Structure 1
Amino acid sequence: MDRLTAARVFVEVAERGSLTRTAERLEMSPAMVSRYLAAMEGWVGARLLHRTTRRIGLTDAGEAVLTSCRHLLEIAEDVQHLAGNRNREPEGKLRIATSASFAEAQLTTAIVDFQNLHPRVQVELLATDRAVDLVEDRIDLAVRITNSLDPAVVARPLAQCRSVLCASSRYIERYGRPDSLESLKAHRFITHAFGAGAQYRFRYQGQSVEFPLTGTLFTNETSILRRAVLEGAGVGMLPTYYVGNDLRSGALVRLLPDYAPEPLGIHAVYLSRRHRPLALHHLLEFLVQRFRGELAPWDRDAT
């Protein structure tokens, strides 16, 4: 039996804690996964896993062998690339997750452009504002907008997410345009239920400034927040990747430009640098090239 495949199966089971999820990830039957695990244990001459009906854990020997297997797979990947793997056409299916607003405004077009270059790559794009579990949801790549990353995952910086405090022209005509934080207190706010929460954070003259607020409408979806602000319901903080056209057209008006909302990082997040699918490797490089720079593409022509 192929020892390299057996090592890959063992590493996947150790990381995912499930024979079923490993079988799905590697596109093989659970019975075949069990046979590869038995072959690994026969090869090293020791029991590698504790298995119960509820969970799978590593034995002491399994902990030691896991490190060696990971190293073996890293070497194998290097050999594949040296043998010309970089020039091979990527193929297969990738499951990608990101927020609905970023998928709509930026990522969908990027993926379509990527598939035009690599038509043999299939993509399943999941749009959700919850932080998906890469293992449980079998996600190959998540694009996350946050300054707090899980240290257990690998994160590749793509760009910065800048936001803008804004209101519609209709709202300003009715309530006036604030010219200071003090005058801002008199206004109505539309807020993201899982975003800024009960306060905004700004940078002003090199200092961090917090502004407490009481919202009149809360939502967990950026598109709803944008729509409410466009309809004149109140002041909102929205990402420039999503409202750039609204700002350029005058539908939304930037408020207090000297107070810059705290930026967030946009990261490509995945489980491991080891034995990445070739399609994932190419997609990562494509996204880095597309979004990188001192300013993200959507901010370069901002007004």
Structure 2
Amino acid sequence: MDRLLSMGVFVAVAEEESFARAARRLAMSPPAVTRTIAALEGHLGVKLLNRTTRYVRVTEAGQRYLDDARRVIAAADEADEAAAGVNAAPRGHVTITAPVSFGRLHVMPCVVEYLARYPETEVNALLLDRVVNLVEEGVDVGVRIGNLPDASFKALRVGQIRRVLCAAPDYLAQHDEPTEPQQLAAHQIIAATSVSPMVEWRFGLEGAEQAVRIRPRLTVTNNDAAIAAAVRGAGIARLLSYQVASAVAEGTLRIVMAAHEPPPMPIHVIHREGRQASAKVRALVDLLVEHLRAERSLQPG
């Protein structure tokens, strides 16, 4: 039995949650995939997959083996690329994760360019507003906003973002523009729960933190909806600087109380660091770093 081939077949079935889809992905016949999984389970002496007529799911033992199999395959790919030399063309499958809005605005253009540059690559983009565990979920590259609690990854800082208060010029012309956090109580507040899930906003003031309880007039679960409402003069919203950069540049929104903003949050491109980064990962990381560092809305000042 070809152990590496069997691992690759198992990973494909587990990720596709289907023998038929895994067979198409691997350009194998469905019976060959079924025989390979049966032989692997027989060799290991454990059941890796639960299958019914409706679904295929990994067992508890299968999940542990899936994580290990991904690491073994990644190490084998690194060895192949190292033997081929550092100038080997990127090829193969890469998975990247980023926050939803940031990914749409700044990561997807890089992914599209990456695919155009390297025709033998495939990308799976996970745009999620949660922290993805790169190892457990088989992700190669991530874009993280905020401080990094885990130092086990290779991290490259590419910029920073701020939490900002903003409102339409028409709204500010009709109301007294706030200059102190306490003055927000007299204003219409738009709360985007994905950015500020609590009704307490924190501000930085000369190195000290100040908390202010706010009562939103409008609460939305989508950042784009909060921006649209603010542009239409519905009140003051608290959002991330990159999300409102175009509206601020166009003059449809204006940032207020900048002196009271909390400290900026760093942006990093992270990846799992092996003996040497594979060509496909290295190329994607290099492209992301180049583009994000060149984006003025993500840089200080």
Relative to the length of structure 1, the TM-score reads 0.71
In the other structure, the counterpart of 2:176 is: 176
Cα distance change of structure 1 residues 102 and 255 upon mapping to structure 2, 3 Å threshold:
same
Q: Is the contact made by 1:106 and 1:241 (CA closer than 8 Å) also made in structure 2?
A: no
User: Larger deviation: 277-286 or 92-101?
Assistant: 92-101
Q: Is the contact made by 2:190 and 2:230 (CA closer than 8 Å) also made in structure 1?
A: yes
1:170 CA displacement: 0.7
Amino acid across the alignment from 2:60: G
In the other structure, the counterpart of 2:108 is: 108
Q: In the TM superposition, what whole-angstrom CA distance separates every residue of 1:225-259 from its partner, at most 9, and x where no partner exists?
A: 11211111111112222222333444322211221
In the other structure, the counterpart of 2:22 is: 23
In the other structure, the counterpart of 2:54 is: none
In the other structure, the counterpart of 2:223 is: 222
Q: Is the contact made by 2:78 and 2:276 (CA closer than 8 Å) also made in structure 1?
A: no
| Among 38, 58, 61, the residue aligned to 1:58 | 61
In the other structure, the counterpart of 1:49 is: 47
Task: Find the aligned partners of 1:32 and 1:138 in 2 and give their Cα distance.
Answer: 25
Which secondary structure state, in structure 2, belongs to the residue aligned with residue 214 of structure 1?
coil
In the other structure, the counterpart of 2:287 is: 286
The alignment-based identity, stated in percent, is: 26
Cα distance change of structure 1 residues 299 and 144 upon mapping to structure 2, 3 Å threshold:
closer
| 1:124-273 correspondence to structure 2 within 5 Å | 143=143, 145=145, 159-197=159-197, 198-261=199-262, 263-264=264-265, 266=267
Cα distance change of structure 1 residues 114 and 224 upon mapping to structure 2, 3 Å threshold:
same
Q: Is the contact made by 1:49 and 1:57 (CA closer than 8 Å) also made in structure 2?
A: no
Gaps of 5+ in 2: 52-56
Which secondary structure state, in structure 1, belongs to the residue aligned with residue 172 of structure 2?
helix
Amino acid across the alignment from 2:211: E
In the other structure, the counterpart of 1:300 is: 299
Q: Is the contact made by 1:95 and 1:139 (CA closer than 8 Å) also made in structure 2?
A: yes
Amino acid across the alignment from 2:257: L
Which secondary structure state, in structure 2, belongs to the residue aligned with residue 166 of structure 1?
strand
Q: Is the contact made by 2:159 and 2:298 (CA closer than 8 Å) also made in structure 1?
A: no
Amino acid across the alignment from 2:240: P
Amino acid across the alignment from 1:214: R
Cα distance change of structure 1 residues 155 and 117 upon mapping to structure 2, 3 Å threshold:
same
In the other structure, the counterpart of 2:79 is: 79
Kindly tell me the number of residue pairs found equivalent between the two proteins.
292
Amino acid across the alignment from 1:232: G
Cα distance change of structure 1 residues 177 and 25 upon mapping to structure 2, 3 Å threshold:
farther
Task: Find the aligned partners of 2:89 and 2:275 in 1 and give their Cα distance.
Answer: 19
Task: Find the aligned partners of 1:290 and 1:238 in 2 and give their Cα distance.
Answer: 23
Which secondary structure state, in structure 2, belongs to the residue aligned with residue 215 of structure 1?
coil
In the other structure, the counterpart of 1:88 is: 88
Gaps of 5+ in 1: none
Task: Find the aligned partners of 1:30 and 1:209 in 2 and give their Cα distance.
Answer: 62
Which secondary structure state, in structure 1, belongs to the residue aligned with residue 60 of structure 2?
strand
Amino acid across the alignment from 2:22: A
Task: Find the aligned partners of 1:272 and 1:35 in 2 and give their Cα distance.
Answer: 34
User: Larger deviation: 230-239 or 263-272?
Assistant: 263-272
Q: Is the contact made by 1:168 and 1:253 (CA closer than 8 Å) also made in structure 2?
A: yes
Task: Find the aligned partners of 1:112 and 1:254 in 2 and give their Cα distance.
Answer: 32
Q: Is the contact made by 1:99 and 1:129 (CA closer than 8 Å) also made in structure 2?
A: yes
Task: Find the aligned partners of 1:213 and 1:24 in 2 and give their Cα distance.
Answer: 55
Cα distance change of structure 1 residues 107 and 52 upon mapping to structure 2, 3 Å threshold:
closer
